[in-house]
Amino acid sequence: MGVLSESLKDRIRAYIPKYPRKQAVTLPALHLVHDELRTVSNEAMVEIAEILDLHPSEVQDTMTFYAFFKGEGEKLGQTRLWVCRGLACMLRGAYELIEHCEKKLGVHCGQTTPDGKITLEFAECIGGCDGAPACLMDDKHVMNVTPEKADKLIGELRQ
């Protein structure tokens, strides 16, 4: 028995008619698997490849091209907290904010808290320059993040 549920496989298959070739569904499939399992294991890549009539190495090539996905042995917390370190955010204190979040969470960027709730990461740009420094909590933008605001967000995420 594989790691992908039949429901997840069906959601991947539902994308196939929307694209000119099955191969084009690789990225959406990776997102679906990653969102549900919080990682994309080697076995999951093999199953995606079978659905899309690809070689597993082709799925792995797509996955490893993007730093977004966590692979074998890596797993995201329940929430992914991105701190932007793009130019606008950097000029308005992003590096200090990253250090503050690392201390508050007790982890370094790229790591997940021991309780599995929060994965702290930095991003090169999240498109929130007008509200720098900015963060993403999964897919939600949070703008003008001060250390005090970060403490409040982290407190909410820990509940």
For range 56-82, the mean pLDDT: 91
Tell me: do 87 and 59 sit in the same domain.
Answer: no
Tell me: do 108 and 135 sit in the same domain.
Answer: yes
Tell me: do 61 and 85 sit in the same domain.
Answer: no
Q: From the CB of residue 7, how many other CB atoms can be counted at a distance below 10 Å?
A: 8
Tell me: do 56 and 97 sit in the same domain.
Answer: no
pTM: 0.80
CB 80 within 8 A of CB 117: no
Q: Which of 65, 89, 113 is the last residue of a domain?
A: 65
Q: Does residue 46 have a pLDDT over 80?
A: yes
Strand partners, 82: 121, 136
How far is the first Cα of the chain from the last one, in angstroms, to the nearest whole number?
34
Count: domains in the chain: 2
Q: What is the pLDDT of residues 6-23, one digit of tens each?
A: 999 999 999 999 999 999
Is there a domain that residue 29 lies in?
Answer: yes
Q: From the CB of residue 12, how many other CB atoms can be counted at a distance below 10 Å?
A: 21
Tell me: do 13 and 60 sit in the same domain.
Answer: yes
Tell me: do 91 and 58 sit in the same domain.
Answer: no
* CA–CA distance, 34 with 66 (Å, rounded to integer): 12
Q: What is the average pLDDT score of the chain? A: 95
Q: What is the pLDDT of residues 64-73, one digit of tens each?
A: 998 789 888 8
Tell me: do 47 and 90 sit in the same domain.
Answer: no
Tell me: do 92 and 141 sit in the same domain.
Answer: yes
Q: From the CB of residue 100, how many other CB atoms can be counted at a distance below 10 Å?
A: 19
Domain housing 115: 79-158
Name the nearest CA neighbour of 36 among 62, 70, 1: 70
